[in-house]
Amino acid sequence: MKYPVMKKTFLALILLFAFLLRVPFFGDLPALYTDEASLGYSAWSILKTGRDEFGTLLPVSLRSFGDWKPSLSSYVMIPFIAVFGLNEIAVRAPSLLFGIGTIFLVYFLIGFGFGYHRWGLLTAFLLAITPWHIHHSRMAMLVGPTLFFLTLGIVGWVMQDRGKWWKWITVFSFGGTIYGYYSSRVIVPALLFLLLFAWRKRLLDRQWWKGWVGPMILGIIFILPLLLAFRTNPEVIFGRARHVSVFTDPSVRLRVWDNTTRDGETIASLVVRFWHNKPLAYTADILERFIQHIDPRFLFLTGDHAEPFELPGLGPMLWVMFPFFLLGFYRLVRERPRGWSVLLFWMFVAIIPASLTFLTPASNRSFFVVIPLVVITAFGTELLFIYRYRLLMIAVTILVILNVGYFLHQYYIRLPIELGVKYRYSLKNVVQSVISRQDKYEKVVLSNRAAHFIHFLFYTQQDPIKYQQTIRMNPALDKFGFEHIDGYGKYEFRQSFNWRDEPKQTGILYVAAEHEVPGDVPIGYNVREVIYYPNGKPAYEIFDL
Amino acid sequence: MISGMRRNTLVLLCIVLVSFFFRFLFLNSLPLSFQDEEAGWGVQANSIAQTGKDIFGQPFPLYWRLPESPHLPLYGYMTALSVTLFGLNEFAVRFPAAFFGALTPLVLFFLVKRLLKNEIAGFASAIFLAFSPWHIPLSRWGNEATLFVFFLTFGLERFFAAIEKKQFPAWTVLFFTLALLSDMTGFLLAPLVSLMLILSDRTKEIRNRWRIVIIGLGLFSLILFLLNPSLRLIIVEQSIFGEEINPTLWLVWVFFRNLFSVLSFEFLFFHGDERLIHGMNDIGLLFLGTLPLVFIGLYALLTKFKKQTYMILSLLVGISAVAALSRFVPDARTFLFGVIPLSTLAGLGLAVIIEWSKRVWWKRTLTFALMVVLGYNVLLAGHLYFGHYNKDSASQTQAVYKQLWVFINQHMETYDRIVLSGRTQSNLFMHGLFFLQIDPGHFQASGSKHGFDNFLIGDLSFDRIPDRRILLIAEPDFIPGKGEEIAIFSLADGNAAFIAWDIQR
């Protein structure tokens, strides 16, 4: 495949630029989140024992906090942990590499798959500077590697006639995607269905089907472990979905009930049901949640406010992209270039799982929409190069520089200061401080707000077998469906720390969030260390009696 | 056989009838809460109609005090007419809004037909507006928003008519001026739309004429603006310019956030305005079923039309920008003119769908399904408004004002003095003048906002009052040193809004 040097150079520069944007303070910013620590520890446990921390041999789904995380992210961490040890960089390295890989794949899809190289380069560049993608390339929150495999699957599908092995790549990648993130178990089948619809003319071609027989067998083999695990424990697939689904949230039911009760006083019940019923209320609710994910306020201005996805004063996309997204969308529908239907299907399908959950809009659950959004934006941006309005190009370039500069400032400087609490900064310091003191105490009591057991397992590199032997599980799930560990070894983790309920004994080291520390402390209360947030405010206190 | 033209007239007549029906049905009792602004319009209009002066003695005012903030005058003079016809009651105050609101679909039909040369789109737009869950509630209480929407739409229609006939658009000048005199949003929007029309028209001759018009309108607004400093203050206070934002560059961010809020699907298709007086609970400003139609209409507009695209999108962007300048976003009332371009888009969308679905069974089935959804939307909106609205809004304090004044009217003879207290005293006082039908001439001579006859407003220092028997109306958090509680005026949620005390010395 002949390919001009100029374009190669551009692509290399974009990938280098993407790397440089993503790599500063890689392990420390943002602070390691509980889910990342959990995935990392599971990977460490599998590496050391072949089993996760709960003793499951080569798990297809990780029990973690009772949320049954898909296991792909942990497996791809294993080589990095084997080389660099169990630390933040090793845990996040796959996200970075797969993130850069996705930028390349997107270029490949548009440039080689659809045949538009300029559009492809623009897409790669815009993805490289998109805050949403940068953030997820710096954190191990499941979606980074999954997006890579999803994109590779689509690349494989689009390229299926250009070589036999593309079909195998498609199946392998979609299989990987299913093991990557909860929502991909909805996205992959739905996307395949829509792709088959788009390629419907081929469905009657026997030769075409023949080419798929081998890859389909591989696909079945690939999915088999998940199906077998599901047969013995349905939680491995539905564990998380059940707790975050819109049908779990009572608000819609309550609204219907409220209206029904009020109307019921004066109108016949059948008529009341015609106006106020759950199917219609849920349909409207899901539709609204779907639309929240393409709301420009969410995408370009305010973004997600849930931890750990909030970016201070920023949306997940750069605001400068908004007019180009509109232009691109219009152009896409008007000109219908090759692959336009794939992009629209992708955009549509990527939001469906997120809109079936409450607490929306959610930037992680809808993360896979970033690719079609950026591709469409790039299609709009391409107009600048087609019409070559020099002044406009200069103006846009300046705006892009300003916008990226503002993002970098907010992300690398303001995030730890403004959102230190949300990102649970300084927990590593808590663990280090406790480790340095714990030998003098019989017990360490930690408030849920001050520390999480997983950070102790992670930073102390706890032996998984010893952990399994001393673990004290709490039998009750919390309101979000998470399991809790009451303690292991000499550590006790309080779900709700209340100083008044604590036995006032010596020989115990307490760790609590600053606001949980009692004002009416008895005589002999010794603050051993105060740990601060990056903005200088006190975060946690370590004390004894 | 009915000829095409006759059939169209019949359809149009039906639309207008429906429009009047939904805007006038139970007009005096729905909404139940008679708003402070409505009481103000009624009292001042009655005063003008009877004496030629407002209750504060100002002859034929340019700005109407209701009672604290100034309002542009047109709605007041319209109300003066309707009060003369129907007497001082809720219906008369609401009549101008309902009347011009009911006529707007008719005007929209002619505008869309003239602009897009598509009769079906015209009918569909008019139907959407006639049934609109956004326009109907705002047409049913005494406020000036529907007035400016009517005049601006009519002005636009006359403009295109004049262009077609190569005439000077004199009616447009008149209607735009009326729009400018009717509402604060119209005050900002009318010059903006005029400018937009001038820029849209490439005919040199017309453009030159329009230059004169814009200059005239601009000067007129400037004069109005300068005439009253409190109006200027209100515009600043109610807009984002009144927010203390640093650095000033953030204003741009706030503006865009507001703009996206005004144009958000959540606001337009799902929840509408949170304030009940601006709409209904659990429903958007537009029917959910029109969501695809708006996009289809937009696409058709972008691909099949040129000048019209500029026109309709400019109207939408113009009103959105004006609404985004408000501090209180998203606001269905400020954004009300948006119903015109959005109904036009939905109407065009429906016309496109109807054309597309001809002769192919599955397309017709899809269209039929969409019609069913739209029909359900209309029925649901009707149910929510006529079945729920008064129940939902019964918790507003205004819901008990009438009951309170009827009580005072029945007991006032027994007392030497009636004292009205509380934070809402100025609103209470306007409602008192309205429900007691106080003679405006008498009030002008002897009353003030601090009281009239044996009514005292806002003063709670009883020791200084020599009267022996006082009826005190106070908010529940005020407990006088002595006296007996004789009545409680409760809201639908059970919370007391006012308590009547009998104080004897």
- Structure confidence at residue B74 (pLDDT): 95
Work out the minimum CA distance from A288 to partner chain B, whole angstroms. 7
- Hey, is the C-beta of A287 within 8 angstroms of any chain B C-beta? yes
The two beta strands, B469-474 and B417-420, are parallel
| Preferred mutation among A288, A294, A355 to probe B, highest tally of B CBs within 10 A | A288
- Measured CA to CA in angstroms, residue A69 lies from A159, A232, A273 at distances of 31, 17, 39
- Hey, is the C-beta of A348 within 8 angstroms of any chain B C-beta? no
| Preferred mutation among A252, A259, A271 to probe B, highest tally of B CBs within 10 A | A259
- Structure confidence at residue A522 (pLDDT): 56
- Structure confidence at residue A3 (pLDDT): 62
User: What are the residue ranges in chain A where pLDDT is below 50?
Assistant: 1
**Separation of alpha carbons B11 and B7, rounded Å:** 6
- Structure confidence at residue A516 (pLDDT): 79
Closest CB from B265, B299, B391 relative to A262: B391
The position carrying tokens 């190009």 is A393
**Separation of alpha carbons A267 and A161, rounded Å:** 62
Percent of chain B with pLDDT over 90: 52
Query: In this structure, is the dihedral angle defined by the CA atoms of residues A505, A507, A511 and A517, taken in order, positive or negative?
Result: positive
Confidence label for B481 from pLDDT (cuts 50, 70 and 90): confident
In this predicted structure, the answer to whether residue B449 has a pLDDT above a threshold of 80 is no
**Separation of alpha carbons B158 and A471, rounded Å:** 80
| DSSP letters for A383-409 | HHHHH--HHHHHHHHHHHHHHHHHHHI
In this predicted structure, the answer to whether residue B424 has a pLDDT above a threshold of 60 is no
In this predicted structure, the answer to whether residue B361 has a pLDDT above a threshold of 80 is yes
Span B396-416, mean pLDDT? 87
A 288-307 near B (Cβ less than 8 A): 288, 291-292, 295-297, 300-302
- Structure confidence at residue A435 (pLDDT): 93
- Structure confidence at residue B207 (pLDDT): 64
Buried b (16+ CB within 10 A) or exposed e, B143-175: bbbbbbbbbbbbbbbbbbbbbeeeeebebbbeb
Peptide bond into B247 cis (omega under 30): yes
- Structure confidence at residue A524 (pLDDT): 64
- Hey, is the C-beta of B305 within 8 angstroms of any chain A C-beta? no
Closest CB from B266, B383, B391 relative to A288: B266
pTM for the model stands at 0.90
Closest CB from A262, A263, A295 relative to B264: A295
- Hey, is the C-beta of B302 within 8 angstroms of any chain A C-beta? yes
Residue B162: which H helix or E strand, with range?
helix B145-164
Q: Which residue of B has its CA nearest to A301?
A: B257
Check: complex ipTM more than 0.90: no
